[in-house]
Structures are given as structure tokens and as C-alpha cells.
Amino acid sequence: MSEPVMAVPDPMVFTPIIIDDDLCIGCNLCVLVCQADLFLPHPEKGGAPTVFYGGECWYEGSCVDHCPVPGAITLNTQLFNRVHWEESTPS
């Protein structure tokens, strides 16, 4: 294989995961635990990973669950999956 090996992203219809680059400490725990291996680590140590194969997300949130910094990574619910709730009526 003489050609350089490239990473080419999946088509991504939705935005399953949002990383806050300012909060992320680049620990790569999300990269470590993701079942789909959808993140790629930042080329430089300490940089935020990239959601690269976002189309393969299972939406279970292990990345959020393992993240040591609250708010650094968010599992984003798609608009069509937003469930409605309202004040309950009195019994």
C-alpha cells in the first residue's frame, strides 16, 4: 500500500454529539469508550476529538457518561425525537 491511508467521514444527517472545544480537556475517554469508534483523536495532545463517523452513533451516551468535565460533551436529541411533556392535571 503506497498510497497514504485517509479517514473519509460518513454522511452525517444529524448531529448526534456536540463537543465544546473550550471545555474539552482532550483526555480522549470518549474516544476510548465509544462502541462505534466514531471519534478520531486530535492530532495534538490535549486537543478535542472530532466526531468523525457521527452517522454510526448508537445514541446511548457512554461518551457523556464517561466524560470528566460536565458540559464538555453533549448527546444531542434530534428534533423528531423530542418527546413532549406538560404539567400533570390534579388527581
Partner 1 sequence: MMPQPRPWPYAIEFDQVERIDCDVLVVGGGAAGCMAASGAAESGARVVVLEKAATVASGASGSGSDHWESAATNPCSKITPEELTDAMIRAHDGFNNGISHYIETREGWDRLLDIEAARGKIRDTDDDFAGAPFRDEKTKLLFAYDYDNRFNIRVWGQTFKHAQLRSAKRKGVKFVERTMATALLTEGGRHGARVIGAMAINGRTGKCVVIRAKATVLCTSRPTRIWLFIPGAPGISEFRPPQCTGDAHAMSWRIGAEFTMLEKAIKAEWSGNRSFPPYGAGNNHNSWYACTMVDAEGREVPWLDRDGSELATVDERYRPAPGQKFFLKGGGEPDIPVYEFQGPETLSVDDLMARGYKLPLYADLSKMPEAERRVIWGVMIGNEGKTKIPIMKNYTDRGFDPSKHRLQSYGDGWKSGAFLPQERQFFGLPGGLMNDWTLMTNVEGLFAAGDALFASNCYGHACATGHYAGRHAAAYASRVGDVTLHEPQVEAERSKLYAPLRQAKGVSWHELNFAITRLMQHHCGAFKTDQLLMRGLDALAAMERDDASRLTGQNPHDLIRIHETRNILTTAQIVLHSCLARKAGSKALHFTRLDSPDIDPPEWNKFVTVRDSGSGVAVGEKPLDYYGNLPDNYERHNRDYIDRRSKT
The footprint of partner 1 (CB under 8 A) covers 1, 4-14, 16, 32-37, 40-41, 43, 50-53, 55-62, 64-66, 75, 77-78, 80-81, 83-91
The answer to whether 71 and 23 are in contact (CB under 8 A) is yes
Task: Please say which residue, 26 or 50, places its beta carbon nearer to partner 1.
Answer: 50
The rounded distance, in Å, linking the Cα atoms of 19 and 14 is 14
The rounded distance, in Å, linking the Cα atoms of 25 and 29 is 10
Task: Please say which residue, 25 or 77, places its beta carbon nearer to partner 1.
Answer: 77
Task: Please say which residue, 24 or 53, places its beta carbon nearer to partner 1.
Answer: 53
